[in-house]
Chain A
Amino acid sequence: MLRERAIELLLFGAAFVSVLTTVGIVYILVKESVVFFQHVPLADFFTDRQWTPLFDDAHFGIVVLLSGTLTSSAVALGVAIPLGTIIAIYLSEFAPFRLREAVKPVLEMLGGVPTIVYGYFALLFLTPLLQRFIPGLPGFNLLSAGIVMGIMIIPYVSSISEDAMRAVPMALREGSYAMGATRLQTALKVVVPAAFSGIASAYILGISRAVGETMILAVAAGMQPNLTFNPLEPAATITAFIVQVALGDLPHGSVGYQTIFAAGLTLMVLTLACNLAGHYLRKRFREAY
């Protein structure tokens, strides 16, 4: 019996590692950020319009990096939400069984490609292609990175949305068909509204992926801080900034070193808010039927 108890304790210990990981993340981010905010007042962090942490005349306006993050995420969602939703509706309501079974693994693979490869694709394939249509487009830009990021996110959006739509009971569809509605009418006016909270959670989780994406932006959008909401310009995101600092040689404990933890904390807060909202919505649609 003692052996059984010991094994249970051991297994509990393993499960507890995930709690420790979260504690570790919060501890490290907050610990280094606290030191950072002793140097840089919170008010400056949120209101300064320059981001030059490594210059002699240092400015720490996170708005600059946020603008890059938000602009690229907006482009990505502009691609992923329409395409992902259409694919989900098609696969859930129209596609024959065999096609669905064949296509889903392929879509999964789209999400499994390493992001550095997508970054390469954005920088060396899509940007030159876009430059033919948009003269004067710089070699680094948020547009190309955002589009590729959007394509990467399609599988996340489509698979969660599709799950939500397939959880809608058949009786609702049959009721609609009995009224003489077509498949498309049923899909758009019955299934999508019924699955709405699930679909919304797919969108929110998609936002969270876009905000946290790193390599595509570090490679294809440039690492120059730039306060802009124009996707045709190059700009650094929060994640790209962390990569840029990590690539250089910053002494442990310097303000520059602590800056990446403050940036990381901002990122963590953003994605955590998205994830919590997404999971809350997802739970709701699960309980509905």
Chain B
Amino acid sequence: MIRRQRYDVLFVAVGIAALAIGILTFLTLFVDMAVRGLPRLDLDFFTSFPSRRAANAGILSAWVGSTLVMVVTAIFAVPLGVASGVYLEEYAPKNWATDLIEINITNLAGVPSIVYGLLALGLFVYQFGLGQSILTAGLTLALLILPVVIVATREAIRSIPQTIREGSYAVGATRWQTVRHHILPYSSPGILTGVIIGMARAIGETAPIITIGALTFIAFLPPAPLKAEPPFVSFEWLWSPFTVMPIQMFNWTSRPEAAFQANAAAAGFVLVFMTLTMNALAIWLRYRLRRSIKW
């Protein structure tokens, strides 16, 4: 009896050790990058272009590029993803077409990101002639995170009780009015959680962006979206060559000089900080959601 229970205690120890390996690795990674990278992290690092001299190099073109790509990604992924989720939960009839769409989404979630890069290279860059531009990158990442947004939207919608819909129909609302005035508002925190997680993934994606042929050394900024003379806005930046944070980090990591590796650590620190903040925000949102909603 006692001996058998001893194995229980032993397993608890093994379980905690296994957890600790995972978590300690992450801490080591974070601390190692902080130690190597923090000395490089000053204002100049954010306002300088990449340079042949490591000490002068910065991430200006990279963070501007990442931001612009993320804007394009969000503009395409959020409406498409939410609309797909709403269709599948509220409209879709039970037939083969719906099954096809559902199987597709599950499979797309498992397609390696580099394959999306090949799709973009063949289709967006050459077939559609969009070139190696911010627009191409944004579209590619939008397709990549679409399954994440769709799944989050569906889960959020599914947790809304049927009585809400019945109440709405009972007062004569149409299907779209029900969606517009009840389903979407109630599911929006859940959808937001999914969108944030998707964007956190997109911001760290390297392989698909390299595959479409993004350059690794960019010492200029895309054209500004705002202008002094009418019509004040310009979309030229969509067609501009660009680089993003993970590509800049990749470029510095693959150089042998220690000084560039310090830059890589600094860029990595910024990148991890951004993705962690976004993930933490999503987790917090979900936690609040679970506590505050009582149907």
Contact = CB atoms under 8 A, between A and B. Distances in A.
Nearest to B25: A151
Given A21-B108, A109-B276, A83 B33 contact: no
Interface string A2-13: 011001101110
Given A24-B123, A155-B22, 17 more contacts: A8-B175, A14-B87, A15-B88, A15-B92, A25-B118, A105-B283, A110-B26, A116-B246, A120-B264, A125-B29, A214-B112, A243-B114, A246-B210, A247-B210, A247-B216, A260-B211, A267-B115
B189 interface: no
Interface string A234-272: 000001001100110000100000001100100110011
Q: Classify the interface of chain A: helix, strand, loop or mixed.
A: helix
A226 interface: no
Interface stretch (A44-52, A84-92, A167-175, A192-200): A84-92
Which bracket fits the contact residues of B?
35 or more
B84 A15 contact: yes
Given A28-B118, A116-B246, A116-B250, A11 B104 contact: no
B249 A21 contact: no
B119 A114 contact: no
B29 A121 contact: yes
A253 to B, nearest CB: 9
A82 B21 CA distance: 12
A23 to B, nearest CB: 9
A32 interface: yes
Contact of B272 (A19, A114, A218): A114
Which bracket fits the contact residues of A?
35 or more
Contacts of B25: 110, 151
Contacts of B163: none
- Candidate in B14, B122, B127 with the most chain A CB atoms within 10 angstroms: B122
A280 to B, nearest CB: 11
Contacts of A214: 112-114, 206-207
Contacts of B246: 114, 116, 215
Interface of B: 4-5, 7-8, 11-12, 14-16, 18-19, 21-23, 25-26, 28-29, 32-33, 79-80, 83-84, 86-88, 91-92, 100-101, 104-108, 110-119, 121-123, 126-127, 143, 146-147, 150, 174-176, 197, 200-201, 203-207, 210-213, 216, 246, 249-250, 253-254, 261, 264-265, 268, 271-272, 275-276, 279-280, 283
A234 to B, nearest CB: 14
B104 A18 contact: yes
Contact of B112 (A17, A121, A213): A213
B206 A215 contact: yes
Contacts of A123: 253
A208 B21 CA distance: 23
